[in-house]
C-alpha cells in the first residue's frame, strides 16, 4: 500500500491534524503570539518540556509541530509499549545523528507517566548533556506521576480542554477540507449537529471528529443502491449526506463522564469540601454525584465528610459529626446504589449547618505549643493523688471539686508556663450557646448565687 493510500485510510482526526503553528487551534496561553514557547520555536530554540492535560487537547500535535518548525529530528515513543531498551536506543540514535550531521533530536514520549522511576531516570543524562530534547505528554498530573528530578529539568505546560467554539471550528475545518477531510464527500450537519459534537467532546477534538467520521461512514454504508458512491470521483458530484443529531449520538456512544484518579479525584473532592464549607448544598451534592458517577469509592467520600464535620462545623452543630458517621455506617451497611441517598442527605446537612473551625484551630494551636515547648507537666493540684505517697509530693493538694461549688470553681488547669493561654474560641451556633451557659455558671459562682441555691436545696 502506498503512502498516499495509508494516509487516505487514516482516521479523520489524524488526516486533519495541523501542519503548522498557524493551523494549531487552542492553548493560546502556551503557544500563542508573544508567549515564551512561541518565541523559542520561531527562534529555533529547544528545551525539554512536559505537556499535561486532557486527551485531544493538542499535546501530541504541538510536539510534532515543534519538531517541524525547528527542523529537529523527531523520535516518538509511547510509554505504554516501550521500555528502557527503547529509550536507550533512541538516545544512542540521537548521539549518532548529532555526530554525523549535527542534527538535533526531539524525543517525544507519550503517556510518560507510565514509565517507572528507573525508566524515567534513564532519560536524565541525555537531557543534561543535550543529546535529546525531551517532550513528555501525559493526561495525569506530573507532580504526582513524574520523578521530581525529571520535572526539575523540564518546563511544565498545562493544556486545557478546548472550548466549544474551537471544537466547532475544528469540525468545520474537517467538513470543508477536500484534500484531507470530508470536503469532497457532500457531508453536512443538520441543525444542532455542530453544537452536539462540541458538547459531547468535552473539549476533546478527537472525540468530535471520530463521532463525525463514524456517523458519516455508517450512513454511507447503508445508502440505497444507485444513490452514488460515498467517495466522489472526478466530474461526479458527491451524494449529499446530512447527519442528524441522532446519527451523531448513535455514533458517539461515549459516556460524558470524565473522571481520572489523579486530577479529577483531587480537584473534585476539593470542590466538594469547599462547597460544603461555603454552605452551598447544590454544589456539594453535584460534586458528590460527579465522584460517584466517576467510580469514586463512596467510603472515601464518607471519610472526608466525617473529617469535615469536625474541622468545619464542629460544635457550632454537634449533630453534624453524628450525621457524617451515620452516613459512613450506611455506606458500609447498604452500599451502592442506595447509599448515594444517605451521602446526599449528609452532604446537604453539612453544607447547611453553621460553620466553626474552632476545634480545628484549637488542637493545632495546642500542638504548636507542645512541639515548640514540649509537653508541660500539669500543675500539682491536678496530678494523680490516688496512690500512697502522692500527697507527700503535693499531688492533688488544693484541688477544688467543681461539683461542690455549683458546677464551676476558678482554679488553674493549664500548666504553669501556659496559664491563661486560649486555644478554643467559640465562633457560632451551639458552641456559642454552650459558652454563654458556662459564662453564666461562672458569674453565679463568683457572686455566690450557686452556693446559696445549693444550700437552699440542702435545707429542703
The pLDDT assigned to 114 comes to: 85
On whether the CB atoms of residues 23 and 181 are closer than 8 A, the answer is no
The pLDDT assigned to 233 comes to: 47
The pLDDT assigned to 69 comes to: 93
More reliable by pLDDT, 404 or 75: 75
- Ordered by where they begin, the domains of the chain are 26-158 (3.40.50.300), 164-252 (1.10.8.60), 263-352 (1.20.272.10), 376-454 (no CATH)
- What pLDDT, in 10s, does the model give residues 306-315? 999 999 999 9
Query: Which of the residue ranges 5-14, 317-326, 336-345 has the most confident prediction, judged by mean pLDDT?
Result: 317-326
The pLDDT assigned to 387 comes to: 85
Cβ atoms within 10 A of the Cβ of 223, count?
13
Distance CA 260, CA 372 (A): 41
DSSP string, 147-204: -HHHHTTSEEEE--PPPHHHHHHHHHHHHH-TTTSSTTTTEEE-TTHHHHHHHHHTT-
- What pLDDT, in 10s, does the model give residues 369-392? 999 989 999 999 889 888 888 888
Q: Any idea what DSSP says for residue 80?
A: T
The pLDDT assigned to 366 comes to: 93
Residue 351: in which H helix or E strand, if any?
Answer: helix 339-352
pTM of the model: 0.60
All cell numbers assigned to 431: 458552641
Q: Is beta strand 73-78 parallel, antiparallel or unpaired with respect to 187-189?
A: unpaired
The alpha carbon of 100 is separated from its chain's Cα centroid by a whole number of angstroms, namely 46
Distance CA 12, CA 206 (A): 9
Average pLDDT on 426-435 reads 89
Does residue 57 sit in helix, strand or coil?
Answer: coil
- What pLDDT, in 10s, does the model give residues 338-348? 899 999 999 99
Which residue is it, cell 501542519? 19
The pLDDT assigned to 437 comes to: 87
- What pLDDT, in 10s, does the model give residues 76-134? 999 888 888 899 999 999 999 999 999 999 999 999 988 888 888 889 999 999 999 99
The pLDDT assigned to 386 comes to: 84
Q: How far is CA 432 from CA 12, 29, 400, 445, in A?
A: 65, 49, 26, 20
Residue 340's closest CA among 348, 178, 322, 392? 348
Does residue 146 sit in helix, strand or coil?
Answer: coil
Give residue 201's region: left, alpha or beta (phi > 0; psi -120 to 50).
alpha
Average pLDDT on 133-162 reads 91
Please report how the helices 449-459 and 430-447 are oriented relative to each other, as an axis angle in degrees rounded to 10.
Answer: 80
How open is the CA angle 282-264-248, to the nearest 5 degrees?
85
All cell numbers assigned to 304: 472526608
Whether 6 shows a pLDDT value over 70: the answer reads no
The pLDDT assigned to 258 comes to: 63
Which residue is it, cell 473532592? 269
The pLDDT assigned to 262 comes to: 54
Please report how the helices 319-334 and 298-308 are oriented relative to each other, as an axis angle in degrees rounded to 10.
Answer: 170
Residue 63's closest CA among 73, 86, 54? 73
- What pLDDT, in 10s, does the model give residues 203-256? 888 889 988 988 888 877 655 444 444 444 455 566 688 899 988 988 887 555
Average pLDDT on 419-436 reads 89
Task: Calculate the average pLDDT of the chain.
Answer: 86
DSSP string, 281-326: HHHHHHHHHHHHHTT--HHHHHHHHHHHIIIIIGGGSTHHHHHHHH
Residue 47's closest CA among 140, 156, 121? 156
Q: Any idea what DSSP says for residue 117?
A: H
The pLDDT assigned to 249 comes to: 87
All cell numbers assigned to 459: 435545707
Percent of the chain beyond pLDDT 70? 89
- What pLDDT, in 10s, does the model give residues 42-81? 999 889 999 998 888 899 999 999 999 999 999 999 988 8
The pLDDT assigned to 345 comes to: 96
Whether 29 shows a pLDDT value over 60: the answer reads yes
Residue 173's closest CA among 40, 26, 47? 26
On whether the CB atoms of residues 25 and 16 are closer than 8 A, the answer is no
Amino acid at each position: 500500500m502506498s503512502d498516499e493510500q495509508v494516509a487516505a485510510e487514516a482516521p479523520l482526526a489524524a488526516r486533519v491534524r495541523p501542519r503548522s503553528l498557524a493551523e494549531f487551534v487552542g492553548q493560546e496561553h502556551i503557544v500563542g503570539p508573544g508567549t515564551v514557547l512561541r518565541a523559542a520555536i520561531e527562534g529555533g530554540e529547544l528545551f525539554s518540556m512536559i505537556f499535561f492535560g486532557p486527551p485531544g487537547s493538542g499535546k501530541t500535535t504541538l510536539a510534532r509541530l515543534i519538531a517541524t518548525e525547528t527542523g529537529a529530528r523527531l523520535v516518538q515513543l509511547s510509554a505504554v509499549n516501550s521500555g528502557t531498551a527503547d529509550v536507550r536506543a533512541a538516545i544512542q540514535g540521537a548521539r549518532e545523528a548529532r555526530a554525523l550531521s549535527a542534527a538535533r533530536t526531539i524525543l517525544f514520549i507519550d503517556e510518560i507517566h507510565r514509565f517507572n522511576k528507573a525508566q524515567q531516570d534513564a532519560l536524565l543524562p541525555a537531557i543534561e548533556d543535550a543529546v535529546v530534547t525531551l517532550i513528555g505528554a501525559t493526561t495525569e498530573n506530573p507532580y504526582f506521576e513524574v520523578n521530581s528530578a525529571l520535572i526539575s529539568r523540564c518546563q511544565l505546560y498545562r493544556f486545557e480542554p478546548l472550548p466549544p467554539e474551537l471544537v466547532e471550528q475544528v469540525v468545520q475545518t474537517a467538513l470543508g477540507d477536500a484534500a484531507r477531510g470530508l470536503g469532497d464527500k457532500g457531508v453536512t450537519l443538520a441543525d444542532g449537529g455542530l453544537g452536539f459534537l462540541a458538547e459531547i467532546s468535552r473539549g476533546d477534538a478527537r472525540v468530535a471528529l471520530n463521532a463525525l467520521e463514524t456517523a458519516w461512514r455508517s450512513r454511507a454504508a447503508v445508502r440505497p443502491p444507485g444513490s452514488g458512491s460515498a467517495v466522489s470521483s472526478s466530474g461526479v458530484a458527491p451524494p449529499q449526506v446530512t447527519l442528524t443529531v441522532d446519527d451523531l449520538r448513535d455514533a458517539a456512544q461515549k459516556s460524558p463522564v470524565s473522571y481520572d484518579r489523579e486530577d479529577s479525584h483531587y480537584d473534585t473532592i476539593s470542590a466538594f469540601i469547599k462547597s460544603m464549607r461555603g454552605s452551598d448544598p447544590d454544589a456539594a451534592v453535584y460534586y458528590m454525584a460527579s465522584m460517584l458517577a466517576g467510580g469514586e469509592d463512596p467510603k472515601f467520600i464518607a471519610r472526608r465528610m466525617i473529617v469535615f464535620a469536625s474541622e468545619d462545623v464542629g460544635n457550632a452543630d454537634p449533630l453534624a459529626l453524628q450525621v457524617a458517621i451515620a452516613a459512613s455506617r450506611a455506606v458500609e451497611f447498604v452500599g451502592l446504589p442506595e447509599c448515594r441517598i444517605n451521602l446526599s442527605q449528609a452532604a446537604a446537612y453539612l453544607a447547611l449547618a453553621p460553620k466553626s473551625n474552632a476545634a480545628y484551630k484549637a488542637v493545632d494551636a495546642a500542638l504548636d505549643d507542645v512541639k515548640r515547648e514540649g509537653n508541660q507537666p500539669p500543675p500539682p493540684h491536678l496530678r494523680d493523688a490516688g496512690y500512697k505517697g502522692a500527697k507527700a509530693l503535693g499531688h492533688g493538694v488544693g484541688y477544688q471539686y467543681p461539683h461542690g461549688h455549683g458546677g464551676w470553681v476558678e482554679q488553674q488547669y493549664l500548666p504553669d508556663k501556659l496559664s491563661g493561654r486560649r486555644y478554643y474560641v467559640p465562633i457560632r451556633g451551639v458552641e456559642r450557646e454552650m459558652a454563654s451557659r458556662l459564662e453564666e455558671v461562672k458569674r453565679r459562682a463568683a457572686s455566690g448565687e450557686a452556693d446559696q441555691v445549693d444550700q437552699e436545696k440542702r435545707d429542703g
